[in-house]
Structure formats: structure tokens, C-alpha cells
Chains A and B, each alone.
Chain A
Amino acid sequence: MNFFKNSNLAQAWLVLLLATVFGTALAGIQVKLSPVIEANKTRETMEKIPDLVLDTSMATQTATQDLIIQSRVIEIEKNGITKFYPVYDVQQKNGSLAGHVAKARGQGYADKIEVLIGLDAGGNTITGLFILDQKETPGLGNKIVEKTWRDQFINKLSDTPLIVVKSKTGQPNEIDGISGATISSRSVTGIVNTTIADIRPRLLPIPKTEETE
């Protein structure tokens, strides 16, 4: 009896029980709320798409309903691992292809960073970058969400990988790192490089989908 009283299990039963109860409760909440959270993210993605593929001046003139947005998933097999990239193909009402928006995620400094990358038709230049989700260090790493930093990616050519530098030397593929947040800057740039390298050969032609009239 004394042996049992002193055993670890008898000491920690409350902790174990609470962990199980809370774990189950959180799993339930996750199951219930995650569709809502995903819907929020999808809505935000849809709202950002015009900004990411069109010039700012054009984006304000063009309402979202003037664009035809089709989504597909590009599957890439690399080193035995299959990666999935949700891609949105954006067409003008008259049928001309305006560009593509790819959703990608990768490891940041603190947690996964989720980004939207805007590309022109065929994926030759970057037309925009948006951070959907991040948990980087407040005040340092979370500056990746700021427009001034993200806008550096606009008009970069996608055939040369981008590099993060401390001070620019005039090369076209340089991205100014955020001081104090080199890892976060590199993570985002790395996600952009990998995504473009992976999906660019597969962007065109756009697979035909049945017209839903």
C-alpha cells in the first residue's frame, strides 16, 4: 500500500486525468471550430487575390466579381514527399489570364508561416505577397506582415532565387532582411523561392474545367 502511495502514478493521477479531460475538450472544440476558421482564411484569400495579381491602381477599379477565380491543387513529388499547393487562376471577364495566386506554408522562426504569392500569367514575375498566418516574435519577426517589406517582392523575376541581404548591393534578386529578424525574413523568402520553383513549370496550361453556367 505504501509502495503504491509513493509511486509516480499515484502522485500524478490528477495531472494525467486533467490532461486527458482538457485534451478531449480541446479536440472537440477544434473539430467544431476549424471549419469556421478555415472558411475565414478562404474568405480572406479571396479578398486578397485581386490585390496580388493586379496593379494597385487596377485592383481598385476592378471589383472581385469582374474576375473569374478558379482554384486547383498542384501536386509536386519531391524526394519522395508529395507537396500540395492550392493555386488560384485569375482570369479577366474577357477571358484573358491575369495571373495566379499560390498558397504555401513553411517553417518560420516560431511557427508555420502561411503566405499567398501572386504571379503573373505563366509565373515569370512576382506580382504580390501576403502573409496569411504567422506567429513570429512581436516587434521583430512579425514585421514580415508589413506592406513596405512585402512590397519588395513585387516585380522580382522568378527565374533567379531571391536572397536575403543585410545591405543591398544593387543585384535585382536581393531582399532587404528585417534587422533582428533574419530568420523570419529568410523563411518567407525561402517559402517564396521553393514554391515558385515547384509550381512554375505546372502553371500553364490551365487544366480545363467544366464550365458552370
Chain B
Amino acid sequence: MTDQPTAFERFVQGILPENPVFRQLLGLCPTLAVTNGMKPALTMACSVAFVLLCANIVISLIRNLLKPHLRIVVFTLTIAAFVTIADRFLAAYFFQMSKTLGPYIPLIIVNCLIICRCEVCASKQSVFTAASDAMGQAIGFGLALSSIAAVREILGTGMFFGIRVLPENWPDWVIMVLPPGAFLTLGLLLGLVNWIELIKSRRAS
């Protein structure tokens, strides 16, 4: 276990150095699909955080019982159970948001970010480390989603969380809330993050 990162390292790495979207390019389906506004993006981020945390804890608890060739089945089963809980919960208490997100909440089951964390961290490390890894990755995912959603919602509708932030005569860039806007924003932000990393490493050397 000595070569495994500690709980704190796991937590910090998830937020920026190993950001699930900008560094690992995982979970891109929700990243592209629900970031046309801040509210759906944050709902998605919270749902993913819940599923990720619960799945990581359960997998870490049973990690010594896992059989190598059956582990993926166990991961999927666990994730699917928590995703269904999240989906039913949203349908019961956030009905309109649940309708807006539609099939993207059930689709968290196939979000490779979660299965990746189960495989890389939770199935090998203690419950506490797995939980802090889940928190770090969830925060990183939330940051990525909200940064993309902020750009798209502000440029596309002139609003932020549904509140007007740009002047009334702002010509809404409709393309930003449409699917191409998702690709454009993700590409540009990815470029920006990589550029910052590049400058950092040049300064270091």
C-alpha cells in the first residue's frame, strides 16, 4: 500500500491536477449535454457526487471480497442502484428539473468517471481514502461542469442562474446553448487549462 496516494493526495488531485473532465477527459456525455445552464449543470454535478461517494464507499467496504473477473459486474450493480435512487429522488422532489434532465440522470450509470474511480481507488484503498477521493473528483467534476455552464449560459442567454447579468441589448449567442456551443466551450477551456499547465511547467524548468 505504500505506493498508493494518501487520502489527502487523492482529494487534492481530483480537484485540478487530475480533474475528471479537463485532465482525464472522463464523463464527457453529461459535460456536453447538460451544461446549457447553471441549474441543470449543478443538479447533474450533485447527482454524480452522490453516486460517486456512495459507490466508492460501498466498493471500498467490500473490496476484500471482490473476485477479479466479477468486479466490473459488482461496480455496475452498485452504481446502478445509487443512480436509480438519485433519479427517483429528483422525480419526487425536483420534478421540473428531473424532466429537464430527462434520460441524463439514468445515464450516470454509464458515466465512466465513476467506474474509473471504483477501479483505480475504491477497490484498492480504505473507506476514508475512497471517500475523500470521491469528494475530490466530485468537486473537480462540479467545477468543470459549472465553468462550462457559466460560459454557455452567460454568452448564450445573457443570464446566470436565470438572472440577467449582461445588458438587455446583448445579442444572445444562441449557438452557445445549442450542442455546438458545448463542443466549442469544452475545446477552448481544455486548451486554456493545458496552456496554463504548459506555462507553469516552463517556469518550473
Contacts and interface: CB of A to CB of B under 8 A. Distances in A.
B71 to A, nearest CB: 10
Contact of B85 (A12, A29, A110): A29
Contact of A135 (B65, B88, B102): B102
Interface in B171-199: 179
Contacts of B91: 33, 37, 40
B92 to A, nearest CB: 4
Given A29-B84, A110-B103, 18 more contacts: A11-B70, A12-B70, A14-B62, A15-B73, A18-B77, A19-B77, A22-B80, A25-B81, A26-B81, A29-B85, A29-B88, A36-B93, A37-B92, A40-B91, A135-B103, A138-B33, A138-B104, A142-B102
A30 interface: yes
Classify chain A: how many residues form its interface, as a range.
20 to 34
Contacts of A22: 77-78, 80-81
Nearest to A137: B103
A44 interface: yes
Interface of A: 11-12, 14-15, 18-19, 22, 25-26, 29-30, 33, 36-37, 40, 44, 110, 134-135, 138-139, 142
A18 B88 contact: no
A44 B95 contact: yes
A142 B74 CA distance: 32
Interface of B: 33, 62, 65-67, 70, 73-74, 77-78, 80-81, 84-85, 88-89, 91-93, 95, 102-104, 106, 179
* Interface SS majority for chain B: helix
Which of A25, A40, A134 has the largest count of B CB atoms less than 10 A from its CB?
Answer: A40
Contacts of B104: 138
Given A14-B62, A14-B70, A18-B74, A36 B92 contact: yes
Nearest to B85: A29
A44 B91 CA distance: 13
Contacts of A110: 103
A13 to B, nearest CB: 9
Contacts of A14: 62, 65-67, 70, 74
Nearest to A40: B95
A21 B68 CA distance: 21
17 contacts: A11-B70, A12-B70, A14-B66, A14-B67, A14-B74, A15-B74, A15-B77, A19-B77, A22-B80, A22-B81, A29-B85, A30-B88, A36-B93, A37-B91, A37-B92, A134-B102, A135-B102
A142 B78 CA distance: 28
CB-based closest 7 A-B pairs: A22-B81, A36-B92, A40-B95, A33-B92, A135-B103, A37-B91, A33-B88
